Structure 1
Amino acid sequence: MSIQVADVSFTYGAHRALEQVSFTLRTGCLNALLGPNGAGKSTLVALLSRLYRLQQGDILLDGQSIRRHPRHALRQLGVVFQQSTLDLDLTVRQNLAYHAALHGLSRRAAAPRIEAELARQHLLERQHEKVRQLNGGHRRRVEIARALLHQPRILLLDEASVGLDTASRAALNQHVRALCAEQQLTVIWTTHLLDEIHDTDPVVMLSRGRLVASGEAAELVRQQQAADLTQAFARLSANALEATA
């Protein structure tokens, strides 16, 4: 599914969180949305997921405006927010069943989907445990399972690896990439942790609400004559800061 962000700007009162941001994402793979805290990543996710209404510009899913066709947009999206929204006192399976009901799925329709996602996320053995008994990595897998129950074509993960240890971060990242390959999901992975990005990943870089670069990670490193993506991002951010000074 194609995703195009076109001239999107957004303000909170006097604070401009996004300034004429435009880019197109690559379908069927992990697209990295990079930037330090306050860059505008979470605001963009909130606009994509319709938590916020667009103020200026548009976002197109397969050419359809989410402004004019919000129901179509929401049917295509699964979202994992930075802050967990799981009910800690429900079991894994109960959390999924409750979410399926919110999407209007009957118990009969939901049951095979829940079973399939539990298997896909390697959670079958944990399905009757309360969520509060799970570690951070497994809780994230529950959230991904929940986000995929209505069979979206786009998965948004907003800083999904924050708070996880190094091994859990790597395992989650690898797992999401496997989902892209298996289901041809288009994933938007927002992060400020640049070691989670592979050389061939398409990258969108934000700084202070502005788009500073977009392209394949390795190509951005080459263009900046940098040693790695961290150095490339530092240079691009510095250039953006000078341009707005």
Structure 2
Amino acid sequence: MPLSTHPKVVSDPLLQASDVAKAYDGKPALNGVDIAVRAGELVVLLGPNGAGKSTLLQLITGLFTPDRGSIAICGHDLRSGIVPALAQLGVVFQQPTLDLELSVEANLRFHAELHGLPGNQVRTRIAAAAERFGLTDRLHSPARELSGGNRRRVELARALLHEPRLLVMDEATVGLDPASRRDILSHILSLRAAGMGILWTTHLVDEAAMGDAIVVLNRGNVVFEGAPAELAARSQPADLGNAFLRLTADTDAAA
């Protein structure tokens, strides 16, 4: 996948995390992390297993609160305005979260009702989402009958149903076959083109290349932030994968 040439976006951040720190049982998981995502921008959070990506996502989605620092979504601080903040956030978690006993439509309807959408909007949005993601003929199928790729498409459709401005995708292509993975990536790029802000977490370097910016997290520290080409240039010859491996293997950088 070629390095991103998407033009730099300048606007107020949809996501602004500032000096975010979190520790568990006295062991730091995040050490003063800053990250921002703007409208029409795809920011890739790249890091090896144990880097702190999942912890940061748990804080951004309101599952836990940081020990220090602040997180705001569309100007709403998560500590003082969590309801309006999360109303602007769509999330696809790494672990599957569909109710496998419910139909595709029921999974989508349950999410819509949680967000308080009126009945006429629910029907319209579910129909539109099903058409967009090629799920119209599977609306009445139990989720357990779907392939892994189709389950991911349902989860993405669900995350967008309440029309958020910011989308978080946590290792969303793990375990998918190449065709399904390519399909999800294509949907993400179209959402960016439509002006959505996207935070994409991964440990796959080829996916990082599609980002407008890469934030490399290692041992709870941001050890790089910049364009994919800037990261690739740290390796000679320029190679994103080698640069990432060298960066995250450098224990001094994360100290």
Q: Shorter-chain TM-score category?
A: over 0.9
| Alignment-derived partner of residue 242 in structure 1 | 252
In the alignment, structure 1 residue 230 sits paired with structure 2 residue 252: no
| Alignment-derived partner of residue 133 in structure 1 | 145
Query: Which whole-Å CA distance do the structure 2 matches of 1:244 and 1:228 have between them?
Result: 21
Superposition pairs for residues 69-218 of structure 1, below 5 Å? Answer: 69-182=81-194, 184-198=195-209, 201-218=212-229
TM-superposed CA distance for 1:199, in Å, is 5.5
TM-score normalised over the length of structure 2: 0.89
- SS of structure 2 residue aligned to 1:24: strand
Q: Deviations over 1:197-240 (max 9, x none)?
A: 2355311110111101011111211144453111111121133x
Query: Which whole-Å CA distance do the structure 2 matches of 1:172 and 1:210 have between them?
Result: 29
Q: Deviations over 1:30-62 (max 9, x none)?
A: 211111111111111111110111221011334
Query: What amino acid is the match of 1:151?
Result: E
TM-superposed CA distance for 1:140, in Å, is 0.5
- SS of structure 1 residue aligned to 2:175: coil
Query: What amino acid is the match of 1:15?
Result: K
TM-superposed CA distance for 1:91, in Å, is 1.1
Query: Which whole-Å CA distance do the structure 2 matches of 1:45 and 1:85 have between them?
Result: 15
TM-superposed CA distance for 1:136, in Å, is 0.8
Change (3 A) 1:178 1:243: closer
TM-superposed CA distance for 1:25, in Å, is 2.5
TM-superposed CA distance for 1:29, in Å, is 2.8
TM-superposed CA distance for 1:15, in Å, is 2.0
Q: Deviations over 1:71-120 (max 9, x none)?
A: 22111101111111101111111110111112222322211111111122
TM-superposed CA distance for 1:67, in Å, is 1.9
Identical aligned pairs, as a percentage?
A: 49
Change (3 A) 1:64 1:157: same
TM-superposed CA distance for 1:178, in Å, is 1.2
Change (3 A) 1:39 1:244: closer
Query: What amino acid is the match of 1:81?
Result: F
TM-superposed CA distance for 1:196, in Å, is 1.4
Count matched residues.
243
Q: Deviations over 1:135-166 (max 9, x none)?
A: 11110110011111111001111111111122
- SS of structure 2 residue aligned to 1:242: coil
Query: What amino acid is the match of 1:12?
Result: Y
Any stretches of 5+ residues in structure 2 without a counterpart? 1-11
Name the Cα RMSD after superposition.
Answer: 1.7
Please tell me whether the aligned partners of residues 47 and 218 of structure 2 are also in contact (alpha carbons under 8 angstroms): yes
TM-score normalised over the length of structure 1: 0.93
Any stretches of 5+ residues in structure 1 without a counterpart? none
